[in-house]
Amino acid sequence: MRERHTFQLIRRAREFEAFVAGAAGRLLHAATLLTAESAEDNPRAQRLLTAALSRTYAAWDRLHGEDPYTYARQQLAYRFLMMSWRLREGRGGVLGVLSPQERLVLVLRVHEGVAEEQTAALLGLPMERVRTLCFRAMSVLLSADSGALHLTSLDTARGVARVRP
């Protein structure tokens, strides 16, 4: 019995390690965008990712067929919302001019490709509010005055087209 439990723990650790190897880079990039830190110096984003991944590991056995990336992304969003009251001051980074809520909606919709309905359900907001936040954030970033975002890649252009009606 003890050997079986040990093998299950080893299997769980290996599965989680493989998941982290594949998903941690993208989740760290999303966390860096959320915290509006630079990619080279992002201690808040790393702490945010560590908290989300630790919650994902704690719930690993209860996921039963769910996508662990979706669960980790939800935990990242929840952790960001809990710490966002400390991030009201402007930061560097591309999304530093946006409010924390606008950053979260924009990262979920454009960077992560989450549907509007799922974003609204995740944040507990009406779909109209999510749509408004996304359009407001995009208009701020794409305005000529801000100069915060320059569309240079085809993927970014596709992401912008995906959130338009």
Q: Give the span between the Cα atoms of 161 and 33, in whole angstroms.
A: 19
**pLDDT 10s digits, 79-135:** 998 887 665 555 666 787 888 899 999 999 999 999 999 999 999 999 999 999 999
Among 1-15, 35-49, 82-96, 112-126, the least confident range: 82-96
Confidence at residue 86, expressed as pLDDT on a 0 to 100 scale: 65
Q: Please state, in angstroms and rounded to a whole number, the distance separating the CA atoms of residues 158 and 50.
A: 30
pLDDT surpasses 70 at 148: no
pLDDT of residue 165: 47
Asked whether residue 51 carries a pLDDT value surpassing 80, the answer given is: yes
Report in angstroms the alpha-carbon separations of 81 from 10, 22, 88, 154, 160: 33, 25, 12, 30, 23
CB contact at 8 A, 132 and 84 = no
Mean residue pLDDT of the chain comes to 84
- Residue 152 pLDDT level (bands cut at 50, 70, 90): very low
pTM: 0.78
pLDDT at position 88 is 55
Please, which pLDDT band fits residue 153 given cuts at 50, 70 and 90? Answer: very low
Residues 6 or more apart in contact with residue 105 via CB below 8 angstroms: 119, 123, 130, 133, 134, 137
